[in-house]
Structure 1
Amino acid sequence: MPGQTLDLKSFKIPLGKLSPLETFRTRQGDVLSYRLYPAWSDNLIVLYHGVGSDSRYMCVLATAMAQAGLGTVVTPDLRGHGASLNAADPQSQHQFEIDLEELIIHIKMTRAVSRVMLAGHSLGGGFVLRVAVSDIRRQFARFLAISPYLPPSLNVFREDFGGWISPDGNGGFKVNMPVEFVSGQEKLTYSAAYLAAVTPSKNILADLQKLQPPVQVVVAELDELIIPQRQVQLFTDAGANIRVVKDLNHLTIVSKPDVWLPEISL
Structure 2
Amino acid sequence: MNHRHRMLIALLSVSLPLLGLALAIIFGGPSRPAPMGSINDPFKSVDFSDLPPISTFQAPDGQLLAYREYAPTAAQSTGSVTLVHGSSASSNSMHPMAKALAAAGHRVYALDIRGHGASGIKGQIGFIGQLESDLEAFVQAVHPPAPATLAGFSSGGGFVLRFAASEHRSRFNSYLLLSPFISQDAPNQRPDSGGWANVGVPRIVGLVMLNALGVHTFNHLPVTRFALNDKARSFLTPEYGFNLAMNFRPLSDFEANIRSVDRPCAIVAGTDDEAFYTNKLESIVRSAGKDWPVQLLPEIGHIPLTLEPTALDASVRQVRKLHHAA
TM-score using structure 1 length: 0.88
Deviation at 1:219, TM superposition (A): 1.3
What's 2:307 paired with? 255
What's 1:49 paired with? 85
Would the aligned equivalents of 1:133 and 1:208 in 2 still touch at CA under 8 Å? yes
More helix by share: 2
Q: Distance in 1 between matches of 2:41 and 2:127?
A: 36
Instruction: Indicate the SS of the match to 2:42.
Output: coil
Q: Distance in 1 between matches of 2:256 and 2:117?
A: 33
Would the aligned equivalents of 2:187 and 2:284 in 1 still touch at CA under 8 Å? no
Residue 116 (structure 2) aligned to one of 76, 81, 94: 81
Would the aligned equivalents of 1:119 and 1:146 in 2 still touch at CA under 8 Å? yes
What's 2:128 paired with? 93
Instruction: Indicate the SS of the match to 1:153.
Output: coil
Deviation at 1:126, TM superposition (A): 0.5
Q: Distance in 2 between matches of 1:210 and 1:26?
A: 26
- The alpha-carbon distance between structure 1 residues 188 and 87, as it changes in their structure 2 partners (threshold 3 A), is closer
Does residue 246 (structure 1) correspond to residue 278 (structure 2)? The answer is no
Alignment of 1:1-80 (within 5 A): 6-11=38-43, 12-39=45-72, 41=77, 43-69=79-105, 71-80=106-115
Does residue 229 (structure 1) correspond to residue 279 (structure 2)? The answer is yes
1:96-143 CA distance string (max 9 Å, x none): 1111111122213xxx72332110101110111001111111221110
- The alpha-carbon distance between structure 1 residues 130 and 199, as it changes in their structure 2 partners (threshold 3 A), is same
Residue 133 (structure 1) aligned to one of 165, 168, 174: 165
Would the aligned equivalents of 2:60 and 2:134 in 1 still touch at CA under 8 Å? no
Q: Distance in 1 between matches of 2:298 and 2:83?
A: 22
Structure 1 gap ranges (5+): none
What's 2:213 paired with? none
- The alpha-carbon distance between structure 1 residues 17 and 72, as it changes in their structure 2 partners (threshold 3 A), is same
Residue 185 (structure 1) aligned to one of 228, 235, 242: 235
Q: Distance in 2 between matches of 1:210 and 1:85?
A: 30
Alignment of 1:64-213 (within 5 A): 64-69=100-105, 71-86=106-121, 89-108=124-143, 113-169=145-201, 170-171=203-204, 172-182=223-233, 184-213=234-263
In the alignment, residue 306 of structure 2 is paired with which amino acid? V
In the alignment, residue 255 of structure 1 is paired with which amino acid? L
Would the aligned equivalents of 1:44 and 1:73 in 2 still touch at CA under 8 Å? yes
Would the aligned equivalents of 2:179 and 2:302 in 1 still touch at CA under 8 Å? yes
Deviation at 1:160, TM superposition (A): 4.3
Alignment length, in residue pairs? 258
Q: Where do 4+ consecutive residues of structure 1 move more than 4 Å?
A: none
Q: Distance in 2 between matches of 1:191 and 1:100?
A: 20
Would the aligned equivalents of 2:306 and 2:312 in 1 still touch at CA under 8 Å? no
Would the aligned equivalents of 1:133 and 1:213 in 2 still touch at CA under 8 Å? no
- The alpha-carbon distance between structure 1 residues 21 and 87, as it changes in their structure 2 partners (threshold 3 A), is same
Instruction: Indicate the SS of the match to 1:233.
Output: helix
In the alignment, residue 177 of structure 2 is paired with which amino acid? A
Structure 2 gap ranges (5+): 1-35, 205-222
Query: Which has more radius of gyration?
Result: 2
Would the aligned equivalents of 2:150 and 2:176 in 1 still touch at CA under 8 Å? yes
Q: Distance in 2 between matches of 1:211 and 1:166?
A: 29
Q: Distance in 2 between matches of 1:96 and 1:258?
A: 26
Q: Distance in 2 between matches of 1:224 and 1:180?
A: 22
1:28-47 CA distance string (max 9 Å, x none): 12121111111153622110
**RMSD over aligned Cα atoms:** 2.2
Percent sequence identity over aligned pairs:
26
